[in-house]
Amino acid sequence: MAQRKVTAIPATISRYTATPINSMKKRRVAGYARVSTDHEDQTTSYEAQVDYYTNYIKSRDDWEFVAIYTDEGISATNTKKREGFKAMIADALAGKIDLIVTKSVSRFARNTVDSLTTVRQLKDAGIEIYFEKENIWTLDSKGELLITIMSSLAQEESRSISENVTWGQRKRMANGKVSFAYSRFLGLDKDKETGKIVVNPEQAETVRLIFHLFLEGMTPHSIAAELTRRGIKTPTGKDVWNQQTVRRMLSNEKYKGDALLQKEFTVDFLEKKMKKNEGEVPQYYVEGNHEAIISPAVFDMVQAEIAKRTKGGTRYSGVSIFSNKIRCADCGGWYGAKTWHSTDRYRKVIYRCNRKYNGEKCQTLHVTEDEVKTAFVSAYNKLVTEKKEIIANAEIIRRTLCGTDTLREEKSRLEDEMSVLVEMTQNIVAENARIAQDQDEYQKRYNGLVQRYDAVKARYDDVVATISAKEAQSERLENFIKVLKAQDGTIREFDCSLWGGMVEFLTVGRNKEITVTFRDGTEIQA
């Protein structure tokens, strides 16, 4: 039997680069540099990375410099918004790059899934990545194990940083420190010298106009159209307004000088997804934080009006000054505008109960704008004949029924009680985590505290709502008194400003009798 002989045949092709081992062909090499913030102190690091890798690649005789791909001020927790990174990967897969050189795993990506997906995608195409700090070559047999470990560590580092940043932000909020996107906020600026929030006088006029138009009866949609027509710029500098922007402004407490902090919070540190805070994390309300553009009373009036318009499920119409100001005596519903003979010369706009043909037929009749105007002039002239008595009664009502001192004392007491209950709950939860105890007994204690908190919170919400309602009513009465004091004698023609400032609504009866209810509660039949 012949003796076995084994002869080794050397490899001639690199299994990594698919080129002959003795080939003199240079590897096409690109660098990738990134810093995660836009702060000036990072600029040096960013420029240094670019300069270093440019010189490093060009210094190698066996490498051919392709380019340095960069992303400045971009987080690495995912690769969705990193345009430089995406361009580099696209060029590599298109056959323009053989090797990518970068500083470290954390500079490349802090998301394990993104990192491994990209490494494997490039590896399948025969493209290598060199992580200088960790000395990892991804086409090496140990590369994938090392990259998995390092990416996981980098991801945990990112989580830690995110949690530290979140903790710092919440600590600032707990201390009442307010910050927001001034560039997208109309009416308030940041003082360059003091860093404090200051009013922008020109923009503040637009804010006051929006609140004024809303209280006059206009909808956010019609206000947006009016602002666009007047050529007023939006908070972001655009020419066309939309109703969502107006709606947000009408509900933003910063316009009355207060600030509600942590309206949203980050639920995923990798994707940076935000969620509306519905009680998952604490919120902080700072009263009197900065100069107000809208008085708190007017702001509360607007919130009450918003609630009134959305109550009952019927759609509010703000197409004219009479929209949602005329009530049906039969069903209590609102009259709406209807057009008769819309396509011929007999065209006429009338107001009729919106529920007239829905379910039980109301017996009230329609009215025209002229009839409404005439009724208002008649009722107003009766009102001014008793001007002194009406003003005296309104001032008594304002003092006696709109006072909030007692309620504010109760509000403060309830706030303290809620804080104590929260602390007690946190303490028993922490104690249960440290010390073994009867879980049935623990659950009873926990449920008892939660029930007490819920009861106190419900009363607190009622008190806050009552304070807002009383302050809104006080503001309405104050404006009513102010307008009435300024009037001398009766009027002959309908006045839009008097209508908007003095009338709460008017009611139409079955025989077309009209009763006007003024802002002070006075009812006068025209």
Lowest mean pLDDT: which of 132-146, 286-300, 306-320?
306-320
* Domain boundary assignment for the chain: 27-163, 182-313, 370-525
CB atoms within 10 A of CB 153: 15
Is the predicted pLDDT of residue 206 greater than 90, yes or no?
Answer: yes
Mean pLDDT value of segment 252-277: 66
Predicted local confidence at residue 286, as pLDDT: 74
Mean pLDDT value of segment 59-84: 74
- Residue 89 tokens read as 């990967």
Mean pLDDT value of segment 75-92: 74
| pLDDT, tens digit (0-9, with 9 covering 90-100), for 339-369 | 776 677 777 788 888 877 666 678 888 888 8
Mean pLDDT value of segment 285-302: 81
Predicted local confidence at residue 90, as pLDDT: 92
CB atoms within 10 A of CB 359: 8
Q: Chain centroid to CA 230: how far?
A: 26
d(CA 339, CA 240) in angstroms, rounded, equals: 29
More confident residue, 464 or 270: 464
- Residue 69's nearest CA partner among 81, 53, 48, 45 is 53
d(CA 27, CA 17) in angstroms, rounded, equals: 9
d(CA 371, CA 312) in angstroms, rounded, equals: 28
d(CA 84, CA 90) in angstroms, rounded, equals: 10
Alpha-carbon separation of residue 310 from 417, 463, 471, 525 (angstroms): 33, 21, 20, 28
Predicted local confidence at residue 167, as pLDDT: 45
- Residue 295's nearest CA partner among 248, 250, 257, 247 is 257
d(CA 221, CA 434) in angstroms, rounded, equals: 56
Residue-averaged pLDDT of the chain: 77
27-163: CATH topology: Rossmann fold (3.40.50)
Q: Confirm or reject CATH 3.10.150.10 for domain 182-313, answering yes or no.
A: no
| pLDDT, tens digit (0-9, with 9 covering 90-100), for 4-19 | 666 565 544 444 444 4
d(CA 179, CA 173) in angstroms, rounded, equals: 9
Torsion of CA 418, 422, 424, 426, to 10 degrees: 180
Alpha-carbon separation of residue 281 from 17, 252, 335 (angstroms): 52, 20, 44
Rg of the chain over all Cα atoms, to the nearest angstrom = 35
d(CA 14, CA 22) in angstroms, rounded, equals: 9
pLDDT over 90, % of the chain? 13
Predicted local confidence at residue 269, as pLDDT: 43
